[in-house]
């Protein structure tokens, strides 16, 4: 039988809880307040009940944005995670080149989002950007302001460029923590490269990889700045992801009520997915013991 858990230590996080209350909980409560009311500014509110939630659930605009968002997160995870592992496996394990690679890999992570957006916005331009100009010169039609596929390719490649390093660094940390004895045992058993990866490296990396997937999923699901700077949500609505749509609604149209209802549903989805990820992660950890 398991021992009972003593949860009293949680009281030690009370100071943080107070900080979080002011920075997150109370603002979130305000959003709940807005979601059931209508306002035309000047701090005047009118009761609207569940109207906005109903409107949002029926809104094709929101479902379309959610679809695009899931597609975006799915694509970047499918690229970044295997690529990050591949990079980590091929990085020098020690010495000067190892440190060099680590620094080089961290560089994209240090660049602010809007700068990344600007870099790619210029990089992809057909008139002055290196990428756009080169593709155009090769006869490939590429224009991210008019062509949906080009716009998607640009924001996906941009995100891969910006964040694969994070997955690679985490995977590298996981790899470094594997004692040599495992590899020696594998050698004695004459395990091939794939078996070493499948039965030693991958299980040992599982924990950090889950963290990487969780971080990348959350970040990409809430992404705003980069695609906004590059495509502004266009062409048409092709790259209008959830947060871009939300900002358009809340600040562009000043529809605080619907926007609040929208953000609450957005929040619930993120909370649910994070909870599932977290649970899977801790269950895996517990199994590995």
Partner 1 sequence: MDWMAWTWPTAIFFICIACTLITFTFLAIKFPETPRRGVLGMETTRGDRLFITLLGSAFINLVWLGIVGANQPFALIVCLVYAAAVFRWV
Query: Which residues inside 166-225 make contact with partner 1, applying CB under 8 A?
Result: none
Query: In this complex, which beta carbon is closest to partner 1, that of residue 44 or of residue 190?
Result: 44
Min dist CB 43 to partner 1, Å, is 8
Rounded Cα distance between 117 and 112, Å, is 9
Residue 258: alpha-carbon gap to chain centroid: 25
Min dist CB 268 to partner 1, Å, is 5
Q: Residue 154 in contact with residue 73, Cβ under 8 Å?
A: no
Min dist CB 51 to partner 1, Å, is 10
Query: In this complex, which beta carbon is closest to partner 1, that of residue 20 or of residue 272?
Result: 272
Rounded Cα distance between 160 and 151, Å, is 14
Query: In this complex, which beta carbon is closest to partner 1, that of residue 1 or of residue 128?
Result: 1
Q: Residue 19 in contact with residue 11, Cβ under 8 Å?
A: no
Q: Residue 185 in contact with residue 74, Cβ under 8 Å?
A: no
> Can residue 94 be called a binding residue for partner 1 (CB under 8 A)?
no
Q: Residue 211 in contact with residue 275, Cβ under 8 Å?
A: no
> Can residue 1 be called a binding residue for partner 1 (CB under 8 A)?
yes
> Can residue 272 be called a binding residue for partner 1 (CB under 8 A)?
yes
Q: Residue 147 in contact with residue 235, Cβ under 8 Å?
A: yes
Query: In this complex, which beta carbon is closest to partner 1, that of residue 47 or of residue 96?
Result: 47
Could you give phi then psi for residue 8, rounded to 5 degrees? -65, -25
- Residue 124 tokens, joined: 């992809």
Residue 176: alpha-carbon gap to chain centroid: 25
Rounded Cα distance between 241 and 248, Å, is 11
Segment interacting with partner 1, rule: CB under 8 A, options 48-56, 129-137, 177-185, 225-233: 48-56
With contacts defined by CB under 8 A, how many residues of the chain interact with partner 1?
Answer: 34
Segment interacting with partner 1, rule: CB under 8 A, options 101-109, 115-123, 202-210, 267-275: 267-275
Min dist CB 78 to partner 1, Å, is 26
The DSSP H or E segment spanning 39 is strand 37-39
In three-state secondary structure terms, 93 is: coil
Query: Which one among 185, 198, 283, 285 touches partner 1, defined by CB under 8 A?
Result: 283
Rounded Cα distance between 201 and 139, Å, is 43
Which x/- pattern over 7-46 shows residues binding partner 1 (rule: CB under 8 A)? xx-----------------x--xx-xxx-xx-x---x-x-
> Can residue 75 be called a binding residue for partner 1 (CB under 8 A)?
no
Interface residues with partner 1 (CB under 8 A) are: 1-8, 26, 29-30, 32-34, 36-37, 39, 43, 45, 47, 50, 53-54, 57-58, 265, 268, 271-272, 275, 279, 282-283, 286
């Amino acid at each position: 039988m398991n021992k009972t858990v003593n949860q009293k230590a949680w009281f030690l996080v009370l100071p943080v809880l107070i900080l979080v209350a002011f920075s997150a909980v109370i603002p979130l409560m305000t959003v709940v307040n807005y979601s059931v009311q209508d306002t035309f500014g000047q701090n005047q509110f009118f009761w609207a009940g569940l109207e906005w939630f109903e409107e949002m659930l029926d809104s094709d605009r929101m479902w379309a944005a959610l679809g695009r968002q899931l597609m975006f997160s799915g694509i970047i995870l499918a690229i970044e995670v295997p690529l990050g592992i591949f990079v980590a496996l091929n990085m020098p394990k020690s010495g000067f080149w190892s440190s060099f690679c680590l620094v080089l890999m961290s560089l994209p992570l240090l660049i602010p989002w809007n700068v990344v957006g600007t870099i790619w916005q210029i990089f992809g331009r057909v008139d002055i950007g290196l990428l756009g100009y080169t593709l155009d010169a090769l006869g490939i039609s590429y224009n991210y302001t008019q062509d949906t596929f080009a716009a998607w390719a640009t924001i996906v490649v941009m995100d891969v460029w910006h964040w694969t390093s994070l997955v690679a660094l985490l995977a590298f940390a996981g790899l470094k923590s594997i004692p040599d004895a495992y590899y020696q045992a594998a050698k004695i058993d004459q395990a091939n490269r794939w078996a070493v990866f499948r039965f030693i490296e991958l299980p040992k990396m599982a924990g950090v990889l889950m963290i990487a997937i969780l971080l990348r999923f959350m970040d990409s699901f809430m992404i705003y700045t980069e695609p906004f700077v590059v495509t502004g949500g266009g062409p048409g609505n092709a790259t209008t992801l959830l947060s871009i749509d939300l900002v358009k609604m809340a600040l562009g149209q000043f529809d605080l009520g619907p926007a609040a209802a929208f953000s609450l549903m957005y929040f619930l989805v993120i909370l649910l997915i994070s909870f599932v990820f977290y649970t899977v992660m801790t269950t895996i950890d517990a199994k590995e013991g």
